[in-house]
Structure 1
Amino acid sequence: MLKRTFIYLLIQELIIFAILLFGTGISLLHYINISFYVSFIAFLIGLLVYIMRSGFLDRVHYGFRKVARKIRGDEENEFSDMMLSELVGLPYADMILSSIIVFLSSMLSLVLYYL
């Protein structure tokens, strides 16, 4: 778990620094703003994966898949009986934890900025 969290954290920081280098410029205020946005987007993606893996959207996914098969005239395959929670295999806890760490670094930078 720690290795995956570190990888997600590294990816988020690389995205932040790439945006800083090729975007607005390097300053503490820009780092705070961009790191907040990146951590917020990663947190939302982690929550979406959590909702999909919890089984909340299984019936909706099954209904849409059934209607789409009837419209297109497709036959059933091995994946047609699988629920959405079985199809999504991403671990959500690592993504949420890494986004919280990036958010906390953003808040720490904000405190340092206003001191």
Structure 2
Amino acid sequence: MKFVRNKWGFLAINFVVLLLYFLIFSPAYSLLHFIDLLFYLCFFYLFIGLILWIIKGGFFDAITYSFRRVSNRIGKNKDYMEDIDDFEEKPLPSQMFKRNVVRFFLFQGISLLAGMAVLLVVYYMA
């Protein structure tokens, strides 16, 4: 991802935006509400990261290839001037993005999860 050069800086920006959102929209200023907001952001990053990890691992490649092949074979509006194996030249889902994107989302999610775990320990110790 070209717009994110420093993953630690982006993590700090996440915490600052989360803190501002907490200060503006929170119904009560408590640590529990902040942990809840942190969970929502952490869940978003982990969910996207895990979905991208599954896609990048090639789980959907065979399914996509099969659907393209069947679609090419039984297509009614076939252009006979076009090469019949055109579907083989299209990139598979695992080739659509780089591994750095997956690492970015997983790093952000795991880092926010660690921060949330620390805050949960502080909350339950007090």
Alpha-carbon distance, 1:109 to partner: 1.0
Residue 55 of structure 1: SS of its match in structure 2? coil
Partner of 2:90: 81
Question: Is 1:105–2:107 an aligned residue pair?
Answer: no
Partner of 1:62: 65
Q: Over the residues paired in the alignment, what is the CA RMSD in angstroms?
A: 3.5
Q: Which moved more, 1:85-94 or 1:27-36?
A: 85-94
Alpha-carbon distance, 1:96 to partner: 0.9
Residue 9 of structure 1: SS of its match in structure 2? helix
Higher helix residue share: 1
Q: Which moved more, 1:64-73 or 1:97-106?
A: 64-73
* TM score, norm. by length of structure 2: 0.66
Q: Is the 8 A contact 1:9 1:99 kept in 2?
A: no
Q: Is the 8 A contact 1:61 1:83 kept in 2?
A: yes
- Alignment coverage as a number of residue pairs: 115
Determine the C-alpha separation between the residues in 1 that align with 2:76 and 2:16.
42
Gaps spanning 5+ residues in structure 2: where? none
Residue 113 of structure 1: SS of its match in structure 2? helix
Gaps spanning 5+ residues in structure 1: where? none
Determine the C-alpha separation between the residues in 2 that align with 1:31 and 1:72.
56
Partner of 1:96: 106
Q: 2:39 aligns with which of 36, 39, 58?
A: 36
* TM score, norm. by length of structure 1: 0.71
Q: Is the 8 A contact 1:52 1:88 kept in 2?
A: no
